[in-house]
Amino acid sequence: MSVELSSPDLKTDEMIINMGPQHPATHGVLRLILTLDGEICKHVEPVLGHLHRAQEWQGQNRTWFQYQALIDRVDYLSGMYTSWAMARAAEQIDGLVVPKRAEYLRVILSEMNRITSHLLWLGTYLIDLGAMFGFPFYPFREREKLFDLFEEVAGQRMMFNYIRIGGVLRNPPFGWFDKLKRFTDEFPDRIDEYEAIVTENPIFLKRTKGVGILKKETAMAYGVTGPCIRASGIPLDLRKTKPYSVYPELDFKVQTMDGDGDTWARYMCRIREMRESNEIIRQAIEKIPGGTTEELRKLLGTTGPEKDESKDLDPSFLLMAKKQNAGLRVKAGEGFAAVESPRGTIGCYVISNGSDKAYRFKWRNPSFCNLSVLPELLVGAPIADIMAIFGSIDVILPDVDR
Amino acid sequence: MFALVGRSIESLYQVARGLKTVFKHTVRPPITKNFPDDMPDLPGHFRGRLALAVNPQTSEHLCISCLQCERVCPDKCIQITSHKSPETNKPELIEFKIDHGLCMFCGLCTEVCPTSCIINTNDFEMADYTRESLVYDLKRLTLSQDESAHYFAKKELPMPKPKPPKPAAKPAAPAAAAKPAEDKPEAKPEVKAEAKPQDLPAAPAPESPKKEEQ
């Protein structure tokens, strides 16, 4: 996109400006070196690495059991997905079959996590655009409800450490499924509210329509994944294109947008995905083997959690296919697994040599690949649009730098 | 011209629709919680401050100094000092230190604990003025009998067996049996565990004089 803000009479020198690393709208510490001609961006160079924590190296120096607790912190807004990618890679090496109930719990909790991630994006994106009239806190209201549910089942609000190699940690407490059901019933109305405020708002449309157009070819060339590529019209969603876990049993559609793939399309794609995730959760609650925790306990004739793991149980009701202890080992071999996170494809490649530590970890993080397309989008855009475009690709800087 | 008028009316309608939603919220009951006045109702599995439980029935300390939590801690924030009791030939706890300034509240120590001694409490208000005061010693970590009973019920933990008067069949026995089985495959961590105590006493040593100064 090009804006005619300068004429040949008003020739000015190019100016280099640093945006960040301490810029309130860069969602972390990203430095953008902008070369400006007047208002127009001529060249952009993102400088990464301020948050580098050597996550891959740490994976090779910690036991499997310890690394499971750490890996949630890579992408702190969607911790379930990084755990899931690593768990699937390790299960692939071990040849484990995860029990059905555990798979359903994984799907439910990670779809909840997708909703919380998109809700936070929605709130902060509107702050980026300057919508400070209190709206950013509407999404946080729903997010808070989901976090309370996470806290009950996993123990913490964002650093879950819930998905483990071979299953999940524990059954949700009594009443948890009812609360979640109530949430899924009321959540579509809440999305309607957000949409009433934002979607057709003329100011919002002016800021986002036709801004930051990501063409199909560019998106494919740069390896963009997640809502960004789906907003450009490519139905790439690992849940459908390379189904894993119990997603084939659930009925949902890949949300793609027709048209240019501008920032508005990326916004709309995420809104639709939230509705779709809500539907997935609703279906998964219906289909989960063993039903709610109350029903499961009644089935087993126990009141405490100690029988949840007993051997004489229907194998699909179990939670864990591998014993969790400090000396957790994975067979020698190598495995790769990818899951569809709120930001795109998280890939985990791991080589194990059979000891209690991994030999090598390699992560494919969606934020890093999505960020690489940023210079393409920003060249030719005025300064005022930079944050609108950057916010719309939804990167998490710890996920970029690892 | 007509298109412009039409667009303006459409825009005004959309803004009004948004504002209606916003104004609807002004009459809704507040959703925020008055935090210091009404405390959140936390679930039993909430991973808060670490503490050491005592036997809810007999008030005996549950720690058997198996050092599993110290070994599994990814942050190395647990430091246990124990010695072999000359009478019973079993390890005996002397000091237990947790640096909550280092702890990342992953809860791995509570998972590996064979006697459910170390637990995550629901306490999260731990703000303090110095880093030294975040290092909790055995006295500050140990819960009272009532508190232990409360958390054992809330977390649905199995009740520990009371220690028999004769030390021969302590609850330490199953843990001791479990430990060698784990030690064999864990050849490398074992070396580390030996190396670590040399490093660790050096670090807290400068801290302790500071405490005395205070």
pTM listed for this prediction: 0.82
> Residue A347: helix, strand or coil by DSSP?
strand
User: Nearest-CA distance from A134 to chain B in Å?
Assistant: 9
On the question of pLDDT at B189 being above 70, the answer is: no
On the question of pLDDT at A189 being above 60, the answer is: yes
pLDDT at A349: 92
Report in angstroms the alpha-carbon separations of B102 from A276, B34, B99, B108, B131. Answer: 40, 29, 6, 14, 10
Residue B117 burial by CB count (10 A; 0-12/13-18/19+): exposed, middle or buried? buried
Q: How much is the mean pLDDT over chain B?
A: 74
Domain covering A64-397, topology = Cytochrome-c3 Hydrogenase; chain B (1.10.645)
> What does the pLDDT look like over A13-41, one tens digit per residue?
788 888 877 776 667 788 888 888 888 88
Place B91 in a pLDDT band, splitting at 50, 70 and 90: confident
Taking residue B30's Cβ as centre, other Cβ atoms within 10 Å add up to: 6
Among residues B95, B88, B76, B54, which one has the least CA distance to residue B165? B88
Contact A161, B106 (CB under 8 A): yes
Q: Which residue of A has its CA nearest to B31?
A: A141
Among residues A96, A165, A94, which one has the least CA distance to residue A331? A94
Q: Which residue has the higher pLDDT, A174 or B163?
A: A174
Does B158 sit within 8 Å of A155, measured CB to CB? no
Q: What's at A373, amino acid-wise? A: V
Contact A258, A268 (CB under 8 A): no
Residue B58 burial by CB count (10 A; 0-12/13-18/19+): exposed, middle or buried? exposed
pLDDT at B131: 87
Q: What number is the average pLDDT over the span A337-346? A: 90
pLDDT at A30: 83
> What does the pLDDT look like over A59-112, one tens digit per residue?
888 888 888 888 888 888 888 899 899 999 988 898 888 888 888 989 999 999
Please enumerate residues of B whose Cβ is less than 8 A from a Cβ of A.
Answer: 11, 14-15, 17-18, 20-22, 25, 31, 42-47, 68, 71-72, 74, 104-108, 111-112, 120, 156, 158, 182, 185-186, 188-189
Place B187 in a pLDDT band, splitting at 50, 70 and 90: very low
- Token representation of residue A158: 């964002």
Q: Which residue has the higher pLDDT, B213 or A28?
A: A28
Residues 6+ apart with CB under 8 A from A365: A74, A75, A346, A399, A400, A402
Report how far apart the first and last C-alpha atoms of chain B are (Å, whole number): 79
- Token representation of residue B131: 């880093």
Q: What number is the average pLDDT over the span B42-60? A: 84
- Token representation of residue A248: 């084939």
Contact B135, B210 (CB under 8 A): no
Place A144 in a pLDDT band, splitting at 50, 70 and 90: confident
User: What is the DSSP track for A114-176?
Assistant: HHHHHHHHHHHHHHHTT--SSTTHHHHHHHHHHHHHHHHHHSSSS----EETTEES----TTH
Our CA angle for A303, A170, A284, nearest 5°, is 100
On the question of pLDDT at A5 being above 70, the answer is: no
Could you give the dihedral angle defined by the CA atoms of residues A359, A365, A369 and A374, in that order, rounded to the nearest 10 degrees? -130
Q: Computed from CA positions of residues A31, A49, A402, A345, in that sequence, does the dihedral angle turn out positive or negative?
A: positive
Does B42 sit within 8 Å of A151, measured CB to CB? yes
User: Nearest-CA distance from B137 to chain A in Å?
Assistant: 24
Spatial distance between the Cα atoms of A185 and A142, rounded to a whole number of angstroms? 12
Spelled out in words, what is the top-level CATH class assigned to the domain B50-154? Answer: alpha beta
Q: What's at A310, amino acid-wise? A: S
User: What is the DSSP track for B22-80?
Assistant: HHHHHTSPP----TTTS-----TT---SEEE-B-TTT--B------HHHHH-TT--EEE
Q: Which residue of A has its CA nearest to B190?
A: A327
- CA B61 to centroid of chain Cα atoms: 17
Q: Which residue of B has its CA nearest to A61?
A: B74
Q: Which residue of B has its CA nearest to A303?
A: B156
> What does the pLDDT look like over B122-180, one tens digit per residue?
888 888 898 888 888 888 888 888 888 888 888 877 777 766 655 444 444 444 444 44
Q: Which helix (H) or strand (E) holds A218?
A: helix A216-222
Does B20 sit within 8 Å of A141, measured CB to CB? no
Q: Which residue has the higher pLDDT, B124 or B200?
A: B124
Q: Put the strands of the sheet holding B135-136 in their side by side order.
A: B78-84, B91-99, B135-136
What percent of chain B is modeled with pLDDT above 70?
Answer: 75
Q: Which residue has the higher pLDDT, B32 or B166?
A: B32
Nearest by CB to A69, from B15, B68, B74: name it.
B74
Q: Which residue of A has its CA nearest to B72?
A: A326
User: What is the DSSP track for A24-75?
Assistant: TTSSSS-EEEEEEETTEEEEEEEE--TT---HHHHHHHSBHHHHHHHGGGTS
Q: How much is the mean pLDDT over chain A?
A: 84
User: Nearest-CA distance from A279 to chain B in Å?
Assistant: 24
Our CA angle for B154, B159, B162, nearest 5°, is 145
Q: Where are the domains of chain B?
A: 50-154
Q: What number is the average pLDDT over the span A253-265? A: 84
On the question of pLDDT at A235 being above 60, the answer is: yes
Q: Which residue has the higher pLDDT, B108 or B184?
A: B108
On the question of pLDDT at A207 being above 80, the answer is: yes
Contact A170, B45 (CB under 8 A): yes
Place A154 in a pLDDT band, splitting at 50, 70 and 90: confident
- Neighboring chain A residues of B111 at a CB cutoff of 8 Å: 324
Spell out the alpha helix ranges (H) of chain B. Answer: 2-26, 68-72, 108-112, 138-141, 145-154, 172-183, 187-202, 207-213
Mutate to test the interface with A, among B69, B73, B106 (most CBs of A within 10 A): B106
- Mean pLDDT is highest, among A1-10, A222-231, A283-292, for A222-231
pLDDT at B201: 41
Nearest by CB to A324, from B18, B106, B111: name it.
B111
Place A3 in a pLDDT band, splitting at 50, 70 and 90: low
Does B185 sit within 8 Å of A356, measured CB to CB? yes
> What does the pLDDT look like over A274-305, one tens digit per residue?
999 999 999 998 888 877 777 777 777 665 55
Contact B72, B112 (CB under 8 A): yes
Q: What number is the average pLDDT over the span A317-326? A: 76
Does A151 sit within 8 Å of B43, measured CB to CB? yes
Q: Which residue of B has its CA nearest to A152?
A: B43
* Bridge-based pairing state of the strands A344-352 and A358-364: antiparallel
Contact B159, B60 (CB under 8 A): no
- Tell me the HSE value of A230 on the side-chain side, using a 13 A CA sphere: 26
Ramachandran category for residue A354: left, alpha or beta (phi over 0 → left; psi -120 to 50 → alpha): left
Q: What is the DSSP letter of A372?
A: T
